[in-house]
Amino acid sequence: MNLTLKVWRQAHANDTGSIQTYDAKDIPEEASFLEMLDIVNERIILDGHDPIHFDHDCREGICGMCSLTINGVPHSKEKGITTCQVHMRKFRDGDTIWIEPFRAKAFPIVKDLMVDRSAFDRIIAAGGYIDVRTGSAPDANAVPIGKHDADASFDSAACIGCGACVAACKNASAMLFVGAKANHLNRLPQGHPEKDKRTLALVRQMDAEGFGNCTNQYECEAVCPKEISADVIAKLNRDYTAAAAREAVAD
């Protein structure tokens, strides 16, 4: 396959950046999208130029680091997969592919296609955990959990924190991410004692990081590689309203 790449190049966060054009020649159809970029980078390096910088780690769709916007869609138009799981057979010979980083105020660009998503880490540090003494693993049936709650918690726990939901949202909202993290723990008996504290902390840290508001247009759900439902946003809104009301009464 012979392709034309339109790639966002930006030396650092304060650089203006621009789209640069590269030829991607003789790309195997069985190559993944990141392998295609590796091939292009090898040729760029041989020509004595700076390679295209992008994040990756597992290349198995479980870490979320391979966060690229492909032809205007975070992780590409393919449903339920990350960038590293996109294969070149999904494109046609002669195609022009536009490749850009995830764009959001809270995700400053580090270089080229790499962004700093440590805002997500700070949100998790604010309340995405349970304060319990772990000790040895309890018996599986020691804490009864209803199937509906167990399934809902498990589905939310699938979130890999890639940030596609933020990149797809016109407001750069992180409500799907925060909703998934809150729902994962709030649904479980172990998470109930700190439910209000956790919900308030997660939402307030999200706001402090500069993410926008949700306007319920569901772009986030459409691009999520783990296909997490926007229902977690509704659940987060209910939990936050109840927690804020109880906090106000307590004060």
d(Cα 1, Cα 39) in Å, to the nearest integer?
A: 12
One of 3.40.50.1820, 2.30.110.10, 3.10.20.30, 3.40.50.620 is the CATH number of 3-111, namely 3.10.20.30
Task: Dump strand ranges (E) for 90-237.
Answer: 96-101, 109-111, 114-115
206/249 Cα distance (integer angstroms):
24
In the CATH scheme, what is the code of domain 118-250?
1.10.1060.10
pTM: 0.93
Mean pLDDT, all residues of the chain: 95
181-214 per-position pLDDT tens digit: 999 999 998 899 999 999 999 999 999 999 999 9
Range in 87-96, 142-151, 230-239 with the lowest mean pLDDT:
142-151
Domain boundaries, the chain: 3-111, 118-250
97-114 mean pLDDT? 96
| Residue 139 pLDDT greater than 70, yes or no | yes
Kindly state the average pLDDT of the residues 11-39: 96
Measured CA to CA, the distance from residue 156 to residue 145 in angstroms comes to 16
144 phi-psi bin (left φ>0, alpha ψ -120 to 50, beta other): beta
DSSP string, 96-123: EEEEEE--BTTB-EEETTEE--HHHHHH
